[in-house]
Amino acid sequence: MPFELPELPYGYDALGPYMSAETLEFHHGKHHLAYIDKGNELIAGTGLENLSLEEAMVAAYKDPAKAGLFNQLGQHFNHIHFWNWMAPNGGGTKMAGSLESKITEDLGGYDGFKAKFIEAGMTQFGSGWCWLAMDNETGKLEIAKTPNGENPVVHGKTALLGCDVWEHSYYIDYRNARPKYLEAFVDHLINWEYVAELFEKGPQVIKGQIAA
Ligand code: MN3
């Protein structure tokens, strides 16, 4: 079944002033849609068409001849979650106790999480993502960064939270000030309910995934 653009879980103007309607209209309606259209075009005839998005993404990642397809599938996966990783009146410390305890145990508490997450986003050279991920073997939480359309899933981990640091995600609202965008994301946009939901599900092992 072809991949389709999911609706945003809120209106285009719902995340202002931290992420504008103009940014969301372009990012969701044009960039995410382009990944889907190109992904549908490139997956045709590869034999991966009937796999889940996650399985197709992992299989494409492992095959250098499918690097172009992987970029589209990785970005489709990343953006499906990215829209849900944000919510109006989000961000800050208002997270479920179980998740907070684990962040304290593995990352030195909320302040440790925030500093490491923003640092990862700032130091991802060029386009990419920064992440809060869970190791599928140990269940341990960690902060990571990946280039382009890559994500923790292709490295044997579960993605609990990701922030898009491609310029298309912040240039309209923050120009070149990526750190300000990352601060606003952490302080005002993170949908901790969705992060907690993914955390409670535990490690999500994908068929064909390379162990970390
Ligand atoms: Mn993007």
Residue 212 has pLDDT above 60, yes or no: no
- 128-166, pLDDT tens digit by residue? 999 999 999 999 999 999 999 999 999 999 999 999 999
Per-residue model confidence (pLDDT) at position 46: 97
191-205 per-position pLDDT tens digit = 999 999 999 999 999
Which of the listed CATH numbers 3.55.40.20, 3.40.50.300, 3.10.180.10, 3.20.20.70 matches domain 97-201?
3.55.40.20
Distance, CA 105 to ligand 1 centroid (Å)?
31
21-84: CATH superfamily: Fe,Mn superoxide dismutase (SOD) domain (1.10.287.990)
Q: What is the pLDDT of residue 186?
A: 98
pLDDT of residue 141: 98
In the prediction, which pLDDT does 210 show? 76
pLDDT band at 174 (very low <50, low <70, confident <90, very high): very high
CA of 144 to the centre of ligand 1 (A): 17
- Does pLDDT of 1 surpass 80? no
Residue intervals in the chain for CATH 1.10.287.990: 21-84
- Calculate how far, in angstroms, residue 87's C-alpha sits from the geometric centre of ligand 1: 16
CA 166–ligand 1 middle distance (angstroms): 6
Q: What is the CA(76)–ligand 1 centre distance, in A?
A: 9
Average pLDDT, the chain: 97
Q: What is the pLDDT of residue 123?
A: 98
| 211, pLDDT greater than 70 | no
Give the 3-state secondary structure of the chain.
Answer: CCCCCCCCCCCCCCCCCCCCHHHHHHHHHHHHHHHHHHHHHHHCCCCCCCCCHHHHHHHHHHCHHHHHHHHHHHHHHHHHHHHHCECCCCCCCCCCHHHHHHHHHHHCHHHHHHHHHHHHHHHCCCCEEEEEEEECCCCCEEEEEEECCCCHHHHCEEEEEEEECCHHHCHHHHCCCHHHHHHHHHHHHECHHHHHHHHHHCCCCCCCCCCC
Name the percent of the chain lying above pLDDT 90: 95
* For residue 180, pLDDT beyond 70: yes
Residues with C-beta atoms within 5 A of ion ligand 1: 164, 166
Q: Band of the pLDDT at 68, cuts 50, 70, 90?
A: very high
50 CA distance to ligand 1 middle (Å): 25
- Looking at residue 159, its pLDDT comes to 98
Q: Where in the chain is the domain with CATH 3.55.40.20?
A: 97-201
The predicted pLDDT at position 103 comes to 98
Residue 126: pLDDT above 60?
yes
Q: How many whole angstroms from 101 Cα to the centroid of ligand 1? A: 30
Which tens digit of pLDDT belongs to each residue from 95-114? Answer: 989 999 999 999 999 999 99
